Amino acid sequence: MSSAYRILCLSHDPALTIETPDWNRPEHAEAAIRDGVDGHTDCDLMIGRYSYPLIAIGCPRTFDLPEHLRGTVLRCCHGSTQWIDKGWLLLLTAAYQSNDPAMRAAIEAGNHGCLPWERLRRLRVELGITVVGPEPYPSIGFVGEKP
Ligand SMILES: [Zn+2]
């Protein structure tokens, strides 16, 4: 089954899908981000892989994202797109919002470079999740305004 690829802008809250041609290879989305997306050159962009619905999220090559995001919004650094399956996104989202001490310890211990809470929170519509808490982990990546 073939997949489709769209660019998501996480500088919007919630993230929005950028209108693009129908892409069936991730390289199309990667090239568009590398070349700069009209109106989104300063934005935090990710790639959605759809087999309708969404099945994975790709964090683009670090060098292709705006420099001002590095170290704040972006804690990650990689030379090619990092793909994260939706199942893991949902588990991580649940863990971020859990009050279970073991879950909180696991979250605090991890790096989660591509997926600080703020990025996951902004993907809530795309992921079909309900955000139940306010900023639960300011120390590991909550930036920006309150919900
Ligand atoms: Zn990343």
For residues 52-61, average pLDDT: 94
Q: How many domains does the chain have?
A: 1
For residues 100-119, average pLDDT: 86
- pTM for the whole thing? 0.87
Query: Is 33 a domain residue?
Result: yes
- Band (pLDDT 50/70/90 cuts) for residue 20 is confident
Q: How remote is the CA of residue 60 from the centroid of ligand 1, in Å?
A: 6
Query: Is 103 a domain residue?
Result: yes
8 Å CB contact between 35 and 27? no
Q: How remote is the CA of residue 77 from the centroid of ligand 1, in Å?
A: 6
Q: How many CB atoms lie within 10 A of CB 78?
A: 13
Q: What is the pLDDT of residues 123-132, one digit of tens each?
A: 999 999 888 7
Q: How remote is the CA of residue 72 from the centroid of ligand 1, in Å?
A: 12
Q: How many CB atoms lie within 10 A of CB 85?
A: 12
Q: How remote is the CA of residue 134 from the centroid of ligand 1, in Å?
A: 23
Q: How remote is the CA of residue 73 from the centroid of ligand 1, in Å?
A: 10
What is the domain extent for residue 66?
4-140
Q: How remote is the CA of residue 108 from the centroid of ligand 1, in Å?
A: 18
Query: Is 147 a domain residue?
Result: no
Q: How remote is the CA of residue 45 from the centroid of ligand 1, in Å?
A: 10
Q: How remote is the CA of residue 106 from the centroid of ligand 1, in Å?
A: 19
Query: Is 145 a domain residue?
Result: no
E strand map for 71-143: 82-85
Query: Is 111 a domain residue?
Result: yes
Query: Is 146 a domain residue?
Result: no
Q: How remote is the CA of residue 113 from the centroid of ligand 1, in Å?
A: 6
Q: How remote is the CA of residue 105 from the centroid of ligand 1, in Å?
A: 22
User: Which of the two residues, 138 and 125, has the higher pLDDT score?
Assistant: 125
Query: Is 56 a domain residue?
Result: yes
The four Cα atoms 71, 10, 46, 40 give a dihedral, to 10 degrees, of -90
Q: What is the pLDDT of residues 78-87, one digit of tens each?
A: 999 999 999 9
Query: Is 24 a domain residue?
Result: yes
